[in-house]
Amino acid sequence: MDKKVVTNGKKGSRPSKTRKGSEVLARIRQKPETKRVEKSSAVSSEGLSKVQKVSITDKNDGQRLDNFLISFLKGVPKSHIYRIVRAGEVRINKGRAKVDTKLSLGDEVRIPPIRLGEEPKHYVPPITPSAMPNILYEDDHLLIVDKPAGMACHGGSGISYGLIERMRISLGEDKFLELAHRLDRDTSGAIILAKTRKALVRLHEMMREGEVKKFYLTLVKGDWVNDRQHVKLPLHKFLTSSGERRVRVDEEEGLPSHSIFTLIERFGLVSFLEVELKTGRTHQIRVHAQANGFPLVGDDKYGDFDFNEQVEKGLLGIPFKRMFLHSHKIEFNHPVNGNKMIIECPLPKECSQLIQTLRKNENR
């Protein structure tokens, strides 16, 4: 019978294996908090002046050759990487290779001399122990944390760094650490990081097959009608004229998307819901709710902006100044040992205080 692992998101509730002290926190404490750490690159701005031979370790076992080279040769255009592979200048164990060749532990990769342009370096601050997101679960393959609202998962689109970059700096960039999935910047809650490539690849397979169940808590504007409602509206990503990423319901170009909304409580002006994602499209909950006439409280992309402004000033009993969307539970079988995992992440303080205030006012 498979072992079942359940956490409730409270500090100290992790399995006994990590109860004596988190590997993450231990490593962070070893680093001086004031030390500036520059973004590392495997290649200097001058490039590689001679042939390099790199032995493949656990970190890159099973990785495609092109993805390995893109990561190792930071700053080199992808077109150049593909060109040197096709030309036979990159060798694996002295033999020619293709860009989609899978690397194995112990393989020797020959990388030819390469000239690089100057790559700007960006300071990525490590996460101090006091600012470390609450660790919901940790073992040799997984690290599941409670991402705070306002922190991006990764850098990009004008953001220099996010959770994953800061975690890598804090743990040491020689360690494997990748996002298994993503949360919007303004969404809080449970997010899975993979500490081994084996776990990452299997998790991605499980997510494609719908074997990872994700549940969210949200507060929407309006009096939600049905106790349980399936929303199946195809979603299409597009860019606005200013270059901002958005999503809309589009019957012709949209991808199949499925959310299940379950009513928890009604408060007149707003309704408290749990949402299960059956697919994982960008902004899925936000757009599905808005398309049904119930925009998320605090949503600055798809919400009711006038209503949100009033909520910020205390319309619902106390001032509330964020989007109310929280990843509160993830259920899946462990990608390596198969144990049943139920990871729960309680509402952050500002969200729970708002719900308590709404309940109190409702009972008056």
Question: Mind telling me the catalytic residues?
Answer: 184
| DSSP annotation of 83 | H
Q: Which of 88, 142, 64, 182 is nearest to 72 (CA)?
A: 64
Which tokens go with 113? 């001399």
| Half-sphere exposure in the Cβ direction for 79 (13 Å, CA) | 0
Helix or strand or coil: residue 38? strand
Interatomic CA distance for residues 219 and 183, integer angstroms = 17
Interatomic CA distance for residues 235 and 237, integer angstroms = 7
Cα torsion 108, 109, 113, 116: sign: negative
Cα torsion 79, 69, 124, 146: sign: positive
By 3-state DSSP, what share of the chain in percent is helix, strand and coil, each rounded to 5? 25, 25, 50
